[in-house]
């Protein structure tokens, strides 16, 4: 029972353009959301997070948007760079819950 | 310095064997986790320890036993390995979020790829 869903398994984008990654969740108790980036043969690396009290959080080229009513969040990367080519995981946690629930990941390929 | 480290990185073994994976974090975190990434690439929580106390145990076969000798270490011991145990196992750590909050950002180790033949 996947409570966090990333319905696009892959995304290809040209260098310099915007990458938009989407994530949907079903558990209304989730109140903290994170994006992780993962290169092959490495562990996931924390990228950016957002609390449910906000609808946007920005960190350099990365912006996460949260739409609580739609139970949807997105990650915008602009401009996309070749080093952004990786698998991106959306994750969420609920109040008083230590664990993270992960989506299946979206593989981003940035073309030169 | 590596924040969360795991050994070994690769582990190939026969069915029925017993093996251990070690994890250490030097971040001063109170909470540590084991996740399993299966063939479909889903990352799923297995266990979590907070200050050496087990706080999460997700329907994992009792062949898997975590051991936390201290706050900085969380080892995973697997008895009687089966083919289906083949996966990548990730250790992670975070600050103790405390009551009334969600889990803090978790930092992951590089993973251990376990192959059971």
Report the alpha-carbon angle A1-B64-A38, nearest 5.
55
Note whether B102 contacts A105, CB cutoff 8 Å.
no
Summarised one tens digit per residue, pLDDT across range A47-71 is 999 999 999 999 999 999 999 999 9
Q: Is the previous residue joined to B59 through a cis bond, with omega within 30 degrees of 0? A: no
Q: Give me the pLDDT at residue A54, please.
A: 94
pLDDT for res A70: 97
Half-sphere exposure of A73 (CA within 13 A, CB side): 30
CA A69 – CA A14 distance, rounded (Å): 32
Q: Where residue A111 falls among pLDDT bands split at 50, 70, 90?
A: very high
Query: What confidence score (pLDDT) does residue B74 get?
Result: 95
> pLDDT at residue A35 above 70?
yes
To which residue do tokens 């009513």 refer?
A: A69
B93 reaches A (C-beta below 8 A): no
Task: Say which of A31, A49, A99 has its CB closest to residue B48.
Answer: A99
Q: If pLDDT is split at 50, 70 and 90, which confidence band does B100 have?
A: low
Tally DSSP H helices, then E strands, for chain A: 0, 11
Q: Nearest to residue B42, comparing CAs of A59, A90, A24?
A: A90
Q: Which residues of A touch B106 (CB under 8 A)?
A: 46, 100
Q: What is the pLDDT of residue B98?
A: 62
Helix (H, G, I), strand (E, B) or coil at B19: strand
Q: Is the dihedral of CA A35, A7, B109, B73 positive or negative?
A: positive
Q: Provide the 3-class DSSP secondary structure of residue B83.
A: helix
Partners of A42 on chain B (C-beta within 8 Å) are 110-111
Give chain A positions within 8 Å (CB) of B107: 46
- Chain B residue with minimum CA distance to A51: B102
The answer to whether B27 contacts chain A (CB < 8 Å) is no
Which of A5, A36, A100, A106 to mutate against chain B (most B CBs within 10 Å)? A100
pLDDT the model gives residue B58: 84
Scanning A62-101 for CB atoms below 8 A from B yields 87, 89, 91, 93-101
Q: How far apart are the C-alpha atoms of B39 and B36, rounded to whole Å?
A: 10
Tens-digit pLDDT profile for residues A16-32: 999 999 999 999 999 99
Closest-CA residue in chain A for B9? A41
CA-based nearest residue to A62, from A100, A34, A98, A42: A34
Q: What is the pLDDT of residues B37-75, one digit of tens each?
A: 988 788 999 998 888 888 888 878 899 999 999 999 999
| Per-residue pLDDT band at B102 (split at 50, 70, 90) | low
Spatial CA neighbour of B91 closest among B26, B24, B30: B24
Residue range B5-28, pLDDT digits in tens: 999 999 999 999 999 999 999 999
CB contacts, 8 Å: B43 with chain A: 44, 89, 91, 100, 102
Alpha carbon of A32 to those of A81, A98, B93: distances in Å?
A: 27, 11, 17
pLDDT at B55: 83
Q: If DSSP codes are grouped into helix, strand and coil, which group holds residue B85?
A: helix
């Amino acid at each position: 029972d996947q409570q966090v869903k990333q319905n696009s398994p892959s995304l290809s984008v040209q260098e310099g353009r915007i990458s938009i990654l989407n994530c949907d969740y079903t558990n209304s108790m989730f109140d903290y959301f994170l994006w992780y980036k993962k290169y092959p043969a490495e562990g996931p690396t924390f990228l950016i997070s957002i609390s449910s009290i906000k609808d946007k959080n920005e960190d350099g080229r990365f912006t996460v948007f949260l739409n609580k009513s739609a139970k949807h969040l997105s990650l915008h990367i602009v401009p996309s760079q070749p080093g952004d080519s990786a698998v991106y995981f959306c994750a969420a946690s609920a109040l008083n819950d230590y664990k993270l629930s992960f989506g299946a990941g979206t593989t981003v390929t940035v073309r030169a | 310095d590596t924040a969360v480290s795991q050994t070994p990185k690769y582990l190939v073994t026969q069915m029925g064997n017993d093996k251990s994976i070690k994890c250490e974090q030097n971040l001063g975190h109170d909470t540590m986790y084991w996740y399993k990434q299966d063939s479909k690439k889903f990352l799923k929580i297995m266990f979590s320890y907070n200050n050496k106390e087990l706080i999460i145990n997700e329907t994992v076969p009792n062949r898997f036993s975590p051991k936390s000798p201290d706050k900085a270490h969380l080892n995973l011991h697997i008895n009687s390995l089966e083919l289906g145990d083949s996966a990548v196992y990730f250790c992670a750590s975070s600050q103790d979020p405390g009551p009334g909050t969600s889990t803090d950002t978790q930092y992951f180790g590089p993973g251990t790829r376990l192959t059971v033949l």
